[in-house]
Amino acid sequence: MKMPLQVAILAAGEGKRMRSARPKALQLLAGVPLLAHAIRAARAIEPRTICIVYGSGGDQVPAALPGADLTWARQERQIGTGDALKSALEHMPNDGVTLAMIGDLPLIRPETLSLLAAAVDGDRLAVLTVIAPDPFSFGRIVRDKAGRVRAIVEERDASVEERAIREINTGVLAAPTARFAQWLARLTPHNAQGEYYLTDVVAMAVSDGVEVVGVAAPDAMEVQGVNDRLQLALVERAMQRRTADVLLREGVTLADPERIDVRGTLHCGMDVAIDVNCIFEGAVTLGDAVSIGAHCVLNNVRVGAGTVIAPFSHLDDATIGARCRIGPYARIRPATVLADEVHIGNFVEVKASTIGERGKANHLAYIGDASIGRDVNIGAGTITCNYDGANKHRTIIEDDVHIGSDTQLIAPVTVRKGATIGAGATITREVPAGALTISQNKQITVPGWKRPVKAQR
């Protein structure tokens, strides 16, 4: 019968090499905390319990990563991974299998964790290993002549011969929970660091006659840890390339898979095309045949089928309809909803507004806190003056309105259906339906007027 599985994630370290006031567990990777990636991998194998050991950063760590399925254990003093796992076991059932992993392995795959847990097979200690091109600073896997794992020796405690070993410990182990409890009770800090090494349980297992099996990770990058900014950047690019590969396999066209950043989730329909250097944050959904130009940023956006977003556009917390044309250099701010076939052109900003079907604002306009109907054309330089210095006010523009260039709409104000507003108007009162409204000063020419000149020094 399959034994119940639980996961302990050891994430109490300070991460001094990050040189940051933020604890290592909360350093951002692909837009979310580093620790969140380990949690996601653990959840994918569906353990009955996930216990996270935290310490550095205090309560801000669990506060940043809420989850009803998570149990948190605080390690008051960071005195080694063995002590950290001991803290976790105090918060988990004492039967079944425990898989212990460190919290800074963001690329580890659930399939690898499942393979390691399965290797316990009743009463064995399973250790995840990898052949490293450069094993410096990692614990070495020491095997006997028959190839059986006998111990893990840390770099600082290794002999010259042991340091030549390229097979290293990844920080992920699995064993019966009761075995872990027995071994942890026997740990001592008699080593160069003066810490309780979790890796010492390997030698204890050998001494107790428990078989130790090494499970090889598919590649070194999957178990790449993150201890400094250089490693963080390395893992970021690897994660982004992994995401790009998934998108390509799903049929998305990427102009360059090395130049895309997904910092959340990106769901794409058929025939989506994404140009270089685009950033997707939060939850983004792109419908069929959507085209995203170069250097765009989309954050929590839903885009309808056939819409084209031209380069250098920034869309944030918005819903975009089908067959729209956005940009270049457009800014769509939160709480904006665009209906189908809307055109938002260069240097147009829309905020907290709705625009009906076939609406157009093609040049240099600001639309804020507005409700705009169908078939409305907004001329260049038009702005909704929605802020009086203390409060925001709404502008309502009904269907089939044409607004001339350089118009100021002083909210709150309503423009009725079919109205036309002449260029340069300042609108402070309701505009009646179907009529032309203008607001122009008389043009005056002053003969003989001279421009000011700079005073002679």
- Backbone φ and ψ for 17, nearest 5 degrees, come out as -70, -10
Q: What confidence tens digit (pLDDT) does each residue in 78-124 have?
A: 899 999 999 999 999 999 999 999 999 999 999 999 999 999 999 99
Confidence of residue 146 (pLDDT cuts 50, 70, 90): confident
Confidence of residue 6 (pLDDT cuts 50, 70, 90): very high
Residues with Cβ within 8 Å of 283's Cβ and at least 6 positions away in sequence, in order, are 264, 265, 300
Residue 66 lies in a domain: yes
Q: How many CA atoms lie within 13 A of 307 on its CB side?
A: 27
Residue 129 lies in a domain: yes
Same domain for 215 and 139: yes
136 has pLDDT over 90: no
Domain count, the chain: 2
154 has pLDDT over 90: no
Same domain for 172 and 257: no
Residue 288: domain span: 245-437
* Domain containing residue 96: CATH number: 3.90.550.10
Q: What is the pLDDT of residue 453?
A: 86
Same domain for 89 and 179: yes
- CA angle 361-362-364, nearest 5°? 90
Q: What is the pLDDT of residue 1?
A: 58
Q: What is the pLDDT of residue 181?
A: 97
- Backbone φ and ψ for 236, nearest 5 degrees, come out as -55, -50
* Domain containing residue 369: CATH number: 2.160.10.10
Same domain for 274 and 329: yes
- Backbone φ and ψ for 447, nearest 5 degrees, come out as -65, 145
**Under 8 Å between Cβ of 177 and 124:** no
In whole angstroms, what is the distance from residue 85 CA to residue 98 CA?
10
Report, as residue numbers or ranges, the catalytic residues: 363
Q: What confidence tens digit (pLDDT) does each residue in 369-408 have?
A: 999 999 999 999 999 999 998 999 999 999 999 999 999 9
Same domain for 289 and 175: no
137 has pLDDT over 90: no
Q: What is the pLDDT of residue 184?
A: 97
Residue 456 lies in a domain: no
Instruction: Return the structure tokens found at 311.
Output: 């380069």
441 has pLDDT over 80: no
Q: What is the identity of the amino acid at 234?
A: L
Q: How many CA atoms lie within 13 A of 21 on its CB side?
A: 0
**Coil, helix or strand at residue 292:** strand
Same domain for 135 and 93: yes
Confidence of residue 455 (pLDDT cuts 50, 70, 90): confident
Same domain for 262 and 181: no
Q: What is the mean pLDDT of the chain?
A: 95
Same domain for 270 and 307: yes
Confidence of residue 446 (pLDDT cuts 50, 70, 90): confident
**Coil, helix or strand at residue 320:** strand
Same domain for 250 and 173: no
Same domain for 319 and 403: yes
